[in-house]
A and B are shown apart, each in its own frame.
Chain A
Amino acid sequence: MSNGLINWFRYASPQSFYPLAGKMIPWFWALAALFTGVGLWISFFVAPTDAVQGEGYRIIFIHVPASWMSMFIYCVMAGWAAIGLALNTRLSGMMATALAPTGALMAFLSLWTGALWGKPMWGTWWVWDARLTSELILFFLYIGFIALQAAIDDPRRADKAGAILALVGVVNIPIIYFSVKWWNTLHQGASVSLNKSPSMAQTMLWGMLVMALAFWMYAIAIALMRARAIMLEREAHTEWVRSLPEVTGGSAR
């Protein structure tokens, strides 16, 4: 991604980024499909049955990548936001806006799969564990970011306000995480610990990593797609959009 960052810097104006993204998207989709295929194959057919958790543990192959992505995307989003505030580039705001819904979706999936895992393993859908609680708060932060941007109609203003919120959030996430952790352990030795699963077999680790790669590729592809749509919306009246082939040529229905 850091590599991509440098490239994107050169392409920091929407009209040159738009076609570039258009060219990259299919590749990321292809990679995402490939990794998903391999990952699913590993998760269902290669990885053995777990001694303690039976087949239920297979949820791990989406739960963990979704959890990782939810946290990772927030950082990337805040990074774009910081760039946007510092350099005042239009593209960075669009990228941050494009990433947020995907991040929120990942947080939601982490919560959902975790809950579905918790029921058979812990006998309850939810416990107020540190990691669970801070993931829930992360989800709220995403929703706040999206709601804030949705409430502002001037895109440039929305970008800047969103950027400030994202940065404040990024400062707060570690604080929140540690406070929640401390809160939880002070009260009780957590009634259930997430780490008691047996040392993971190599295959499991591989499956998780491949699935994480798949999620990653997916996130990039979808963020680029959404960024392109946002560019069209925001720059609808500029010359470069009006002369795009899909606007001029395409079969106007």
Chain B
Amino acid sequence: MNWGSAGEFLAMGGYGLYVWGSFGVCALALAMEPILVRKRRSDILRSLRRERMAEEMETQ
């Protein structure tokens, strides 16, 4: 264990800004990417479903 307290952990021995800046942006980016890909997927699925619906309406 390197850290006495949560405050110490956050301070990172004075390098908090840099360390958390790196880890934070990294986490953010790696979390955003799957979300964006998911959205892309659900967009295309929605338009596919809509097309299907339109076709069903036409054939009826």
Contact = CB atoms under 8 A, between A and B. Distances in A.
A231 B20 CA distance: 37
A222 B34 CA distance: 6
The listed residue with most B CB atoms (<10 A of its CB), out of A44, A54, A55, A120, is A55
A102 B33 contact: yes
Given A49-B2, A56-B15, A225 B34 contact: yes
Contacts of A242: 48, 52
A62 B44 contact: no
B37 A229 contact: yes
A49 B25 CA distance: 23
A232 B45 contact: yes
B3 to A, nearest CB: 8
A205 interface: no
B45 A112 contact: no
B49 to A, nearest CB: 5
B26 A62 contact: yes
A105 interface: yes
Contacts of A54: 13-15
A80 interface: no
A166 B48 CA distance: 32
Q: How large is the interface on A (under 10, 10 to 19, 20 to 34, 35 or more residues)?
A: 35 or more
Interface residues of B, number: 33
A233 B41 CA distance: 8
B30 interface: yes
Given A242-B52, A250-B45, A252-B49, A58 B19 contact: yes
Contacts of A218: 30
Contacts of B18: 56, 59, 116-117, 119-120
Contacts of B53: 252
Contacts of A233: 40, 44
Interface string B34-58: 1001101100111111111100000
A229 B41 contact: yes
B49 A226 contact: no
Interface in A222-245: 222, 225-226, 228-229, 232-233, 236, 241-242
B25 A112 contact: yes
Interface of A: 44-45, 48-49, 54-56, 58-59, 62-63, 66, 101-102, 105, 108-109, 112-113, 116-117, 119-120, 218, 221-222, 225-226, 228-229, 232-233, 236, 241-242, 246-248, 250, 252-253
Given A222-B33, A252-B52, 9 more contacts: A49-B13, A62-B22, A66-B26, A109-B29, A112-B25, A120-B15, A228-B41, A242-B48, A248-B52
